[in-house]
Structure 1
């Protein structure tokens, strides 16, 4: 895909994760991305792909998600990008995460670790950010005047994030 260049990352992925399979592979890739990239707002461009993000060792949530997706695909694990609304982010906002096919189901993977996955609400699912953009313009002038999103916690506190848990979104 445009942003998750798994073909270019296949040799690197095979060298970094030679023995892992299934959920161990997903956890190893997620942990590697989390420890080898810095989350820095504004550090990437809208055209950056996974290779750019790895070379820069930084990015935002979509960059983390693209790297996870690309590495997992390079290893033969189906993966896709999911845009979500993420209660628990400070401030609450849209967020990009990956989803990996493990144990006969899609499971949410968030290498940023910035919000509890169990509280996330799916907005869109696709190959990469080109399929799941929060906003897209096709030429012309656009003025974004206002955005209002509200979320109300129905009962209790947000769930505590367990990085090792398998989490599925409805």
Structure 2
């Protein structure tokens, strides 16, 4: 499938500020091919693209030293070919001892996903379930049925523990809670940001991935996105690692517009398939 992306973000700057943006799609992925892309800053401000060691996520580091507004525009055309994974391949649990070394960090608590605080709750609700896949499905279902989606109900400091207690949040909070509950049950899980073509109004969306049967399988406890119509931006231990924008200084976002449209290829609204699951 092919997608067209357009992102526009505007900031007013009140003091010298350095920004870190994470809006470009994942590069060097077997499931995504960048056909074309442009990134422009108006008026021009110095910026650099970088990636962390061992990561394919692309960040933009931008410096604003004058007290002027600026706009960053990103446009791209992306080919996406996600992978269907058969349910029967995911039903066998992988012992922690046999996990790849790079998967181990996705078992431990992080700032937004304090899984150590949720262990008793997770085991009481889901500990009796036999397979990690069925546990993850039950977690996903429980969050959808028990957490209310409320725009503006959280901020960057809201944790999965907070979301569990207040019973409301936005997509990042749903994802953080899914991650924390999976990790509390010794299931590796990570944060997943993407462009989603069917979100209304269009926005950068957050899901979570669980490591099952040696594959990262995507779940969306909000059920707002069609899982076969996503364009991956990044993955990380939680949202603090791959925030859309992080700033060091004094500035305020005055406008954000996200567009993601599917331009060709077949799609359906299957969520989730009873026999197959999606990996990006």
TM-score scaled by structure 2? 0.57
Q: What is the match of residue 10 of structure 1?
A: 119
Q: What is the match of residue 70 of structure 1?
A: 180
Task: Tell me how far apart the structure 2 counterparts of residues 143 and 90 of structure 1 sit (CA, whole Å).
Answer: 21
Task: Tell me how far apart the structure 1 counterparts of residues 205 and 219 of structure 2 sit (CA, whole Å).
Answer: 12
Q: What is the match of residue 133 of structure 1?
A: 243
Question: For residues 103 and 151 of structure 1, do their structure 2 counterparts lie closer, same or farther at Cα, with a shift above 3 Å needed?
Answer: same
Match among 149, 166, 171 for residue 61 of structure 1: 171
RMSD (CA atoms): 1.6
Match status 1:35 vs 2:145? yes
Q: What is the match of residue 160 of structure 1?
A: 269
Q: What is the match of residue 97 of structure 1?
A: 207
Which is strand-richer, 1 or 2? Answer: 2
Q: Note the C-alpha offset of 1:104.
A: 1.1
Question: For residues 38 and 78 of structure 1, do their structure 2 counterparts lie closer, same or farther at Cα, with a shift above 3 Å needed?
Answer: same
When structure 1 is superposed on structure 2, of 142-151 and 19-28 the one drifting more is: 142-151
Question: For residues 3 and 148 of structure 1, do their structure 2 counterparts lie closer, same or farther at Cα, with a shift above 3 Å needed?
Answer: closer
Structure index of larger Rg: 2
Question: For residues 93 and 146 of structure 1, do their structure 2 counterparts lie closer, same or farther at Cα, with a shift above 3 Å needed?
Answer: closer
Q: Say whether the 8 Å CA contact 1:118–1:168 is kept in structure 2.
A: no
Unaligned runs of 5+ in 2: 1-109
Deviation track 1:26-55 (CA, whole Å, cap 9, x = no partner) reads 101101111110111111122100010011
Question: For residues 113 and 18 of structure 1, do their structure 2 counterparts lie closer, same or farther at Cα, with a shift above 3 Å needed?
Answer: same
Unaligned runs of 5+ in 1: none
Deviation track 1:75-121 (CA, whole Å, cap 9, x = no partner) reads 00000001111111112221000000011100001000011111111
Paired residues for 1:81-92 under 5 Å: 81-92=191-202
Match status 1:106 vs 2:219? no
TM-score scaled by structure 1? 0.92
Aligned residue pairs total: 168
Q: Say whether the 8 Å CA contact 2:119–2:184 is kept in structure 1.
A: yes
Which is helix-richer, 1 or 2? Answer: 1
Question: For residues 147 and 89 of structure 1, do their structure 2 counterparts lie closer, same or farther at Cα, with a shift above 3 Å needed?
Answer: closer
Task: Tell me how far apart the structure 1 counterparts of residues 255 and 146 of structure 2 sit (CA, whole Å).
Answer: 36
Match of 1:97, SS? strand
Match among 147, 156, 176 for residue 46 of structure 1: 156
Q: Note the C-alpha offset of 1:141.
A: 2.3
Task: Tell me how far apart the structure 2 counterparts of residues 99 and 137 of structure 1 sit (CA, whole Å).
Answer: 27
Task: Tell me how far apart the structure 1 counterparts of residues 255 and 170 of structure 2 sit (CA, whole Å).
Answer: 23
Q: Note the C-alpha offset of 1:22.
A: 1.9
Match of 1:90, SS? coil
Q: What is the match of residue 80 of structure 2?
A: none
